[in-house]
Structure 1
């Protein structure tokens, strides 16, 4: 609970540093929360919209059984509420996910001495992806109304989508590598080491372990237990 409270109170704090453990736990918490909200909101709303569209689908099925071609505009009119809801919900959830992680992501990059601008290309591509989704669903009606335009527009849209996806995937791999790197020991230009107290306790524990065996502590190496000498009884 302290993890969630601390991150919720620092959503706009892009300064300082954050080590790996609280960052990845927060990412996991946000991802699980996103999945739970998606199931709680999306599934009931989708079921309700499908129930409302059931009579229209039955009428369309009767037309097909009678040998009549379905009207594209009518098909879109039936699917428009569901597509609109999915679009709005996906955009809101995506932007909320970015808002909850943006500050923590910048602080995690600061921990290894890197600027938060390393995450900017990935964030911009995520926003571009959301914008492309909005554009596609906004023009969905014209695609159905003008099938010839769909043949010209859809290949171009898919080509650009694949290019953006590949670039985004490559940038995501680079960003993930930077996020899993350990932070710098001691303070850097972004602030104090968040693990300073932990490192101090480890140093004290190491010094106490060495002192227990009458040895001089080496700050660069962990304490080692002396080898156990096994005494053998003389043979008769």
Structure 2
């Protein structure tokens, strides 16, 4: 559980390196929460009204209900609260591979540029491969190897 919460402890820390374990445990925690909040959202939907002529042709939409609104609000707050830790842990993971975090920033920005955003999907697939690979087993310009037993500041 400590590995899942470590990116919150290092909330806006874009310096240093992060192990694969820190990155992927945080991703697991992140997606468990997202799926739970989506389940809350969709549990309250009036499923029987979808696909039917709900309003008799009057043009009104179905009532989404309290649980949908609560779930959507909590999901929005979760996205806002985890945006910076997600960025930071990804940048630190790239640092562990010996790459600058600016590569990730470029990929994020490219998603908003017309036509260039077509390259974003292959870019994210390449990023996924890079994040899966082990980090450099030696000190690099972003710090010591986080797997080095002499480097004990992870939970200090």
Could you tell me the TM-score, scaled by structure 1's length? 0.49
Runs (4 or more) in structure 1 with deviation over 6 Å come to: 86-90
Change (3 A) 1:195 1:87: closer
Residue 149 of structure 2: SS of its match in structure 1?
helix
Cα distance in 2 between the residues matched to 1:192 and 1:166? 36
Q: How big is the shift at 1:125?
A: 5.7
Larger gyration radius, structure 1 or structure 2: 1
Matches within 5 A, 1:92-131: 94-96=79-81, 98-124=83-109, 128=112
Bigger proportion of residues as helix: 1
Show the counterpart of 2:123: 171
The alpha-carbon deviation at position 112 of structure 1 amounts to: 1.1
Contact 1:19 1:111 in 2 (8 A): yes
Q: CA deviation at 1:165?
A: 6.8
Cα distance in 2, alignment partners of residues 174 and 106 from structure 1: 15
CA distance 1:30–1:198, change in 2 (3 Å) = farther
Q: Describe the superposition over 1:3-35 as per-residue Cα deviations: whole angstroms up to 9, x where unpaired.
A: 133221112111110111221121111111111
CA distance in 2, matches of 1:11, 1:103: 7
CA distance in structure 2 between the aligned counterparts of 1:6 and 1:90, rounded to whole angstroms: 21
Query: Does the Cα contact within 8 Å between 1:106 and 1:116 map onto a contact in 2?
Result: yes
Q: Unaligned 5+ residue runs, structure 2?
A: 152-156
The aligned residue for residue 36 of structure 1 is 36
One of 142, 147, 152 as aligned partner of 1:190: 142
Give RMSD over aligned pairs. Answer: 3.5
Q: Deviation at 1:101?
A: 1.4
The alpha-carbon distance between structure 1 residues 122 and 89, as it changes in their structure 2 partners (threshold 3 A), is: farther
Q: Sort the Cα spacing of 1:106 and 1:121 in 2 relative to 1 into closer, same or farther, 3 A.
A: same
TM-score by length of 2: 0.70
Aligned residue for 2:154? none
Correspondence for 2:61 = 78
Q: Contact 1:110 / 1:190 at 8 angstroms: preserved in 2?
A: yes
Contact 2:3 2:21 in 1 (8 A): no
